[in-house]
Amino acid sequence: MKGAHDALIDTRATVRIFKDQSIWPYRGKVKDLEEKVNRYIKRTQIGKVPADLGANETMNSDDEFSDDEDNEEQGDEEDGDMDADGWSKKNSFASDKPFVGPNPGPDARIKPSGPKAAFLSLWMTVEEMVVTETNRYAMMKRAARVIKTFLSYCVENRGVRRSGPFQFPYLCPWIPVTSEDIRKFLCILCLSSAHNRVTNIREWWSKDPLCEFPQVKTIMPRDRFLSILKYLHVANPYDQLQAGGDKVFKVRKFMTALNSVFQKRYKPSRHLTVDEMMIKFKGRLGIIQFMPRKPVKKGIRGWACSDATSGYVLNVDVYCGANTGGREEGVGLGESVVMHLLEPYQHLGHTVTMDRFFTGVPLFESLLDVSIYATGTIQASRSAFPKKALSMPKGSARGTTKWLMKNQLVASKNPRSTFLERISSHPPFSLK
Mean pLDDT taken over the chain: 77
- Whether pLDDT at 22 is above 60: no
Clarify whether residues 207 and 143 are in a common domain: yes
Q: 3-state SS string over the chain?
A: CHHHHHHCCCHHHHHHHHHCCCCCCCECCCHHHHHHHHHHHHHHCCCCCCCCCCCCCCECCHHHHHHHHHHHHHHHHHHCCECCCCCECCCCCCCCCCCCCCCCEECCCCCCCCHHHHHHHHHHHHHHHHHHHHHHHHHHHHHHHHHHHHHHHHHHCCCCCCCCCCCCCCCCCCCCCCHHHHHHHHHHHHHHHHCCCCCCHHHHHCCCCCCCCHHHHCCCCHHHHHHHHHHCCCCCHHHHHHHCCCCCHHHHHHHHHHHHHHHHHEECCCEEEEEEEEEECCCCCCCEEECCCCCCCEEEEEEEEEECCCCCEEEEEECCCCCCCCCCCCCCHHHHHHHHHCHHHCCCCCEEEECCCCCCHHHHHHHHHCCCEEEEECCCCCCCCCCCCCCCCCCCCCCCCEEEEECCEEEEEECCEEEEEECCCCCCCCCC
Under the banding of pLDDT at 50, 70 and 90, the label for residue 84 is: low
Looking at residue 387, its pLDDT comes to 80
pLDDT at 76: 44
Whether 54 and 122 share a structural domain: no
Confidence (pLDDT) at 17: 52
| Cβ contact 252:326 at 8 Å | no
Question: Is residue 211 scored above 80 in pLDDT?
Answer: yes
> Is 56 a member of any domain?
yes
pTM of the predicted protein model: 0.72
CA angle 25, 30, 36 (to 5 degrees): 125
Q: Which of 50-64, 83-97, 319-333, 341-355 has the lowest mean pLDDT?
A: 50-64
pLDDT for position 42: 63
Its domain, for residue 212, covers 115-155+164-231
Over the stretch 149-203, which tens digit does the pLDDT of each residue have?
A: 888 888 777 755 566 677 777 788 889 999 999 999 999 999 998 888 877 889 9
Per-residue pLDDT, 408: 82
In a domain, 273, yes or no: no
Residues 214-233, mean pLDDT to the nearest whole number: 92
CA dihedral 319, 323, 324, 325 (to 10 degrees): 90
Q: Pick the last residue of a domain from 231, 247, 269.
A: 231
Exposure string over 82-98, b if 16+ CB within 10 A, otherwise e: eeeeebbbbbbbeebee
Residue 148 lies in a domain: yes
Residue 74 has pLDDT above 50, yes or no: no
**Number of domains within the chain:** 2
Q: Report yes or no on 392 lying in a domain.
A: no
- 150 belongs to a structural domain: yes
Do 142 and 202 lie in a common domain?
yes
One domain, residues 123 and 226? yes
Give domain status of residue 212, yes or no.
yes
Q: What is the mean pLDDT of residues 110-138?
A: 86
Q: What percent of the chain has pLDDT over 90?
A: 28
Residue after which a domain boundary falls, among 231, 259, 277: 231
Residues 46 and 148 in one domain: no
% of the chain surpassing 70 pLDDT: 72
**Is residue 135 domain-resident?**
yes
More confident residue, 225 or 391: 225
131 and 202 share one domain: yes
In a domain, 97, yes or no: no
- Judge whether 94 and 33 are in contact, CB under 8 Å: no
Same-domain pairing of 133 and 225: yes
pLDDT in tens, 268-322: 999 999 999 999 988 888 889 998 988 999 999 999 999 999 999 999 999 988 7
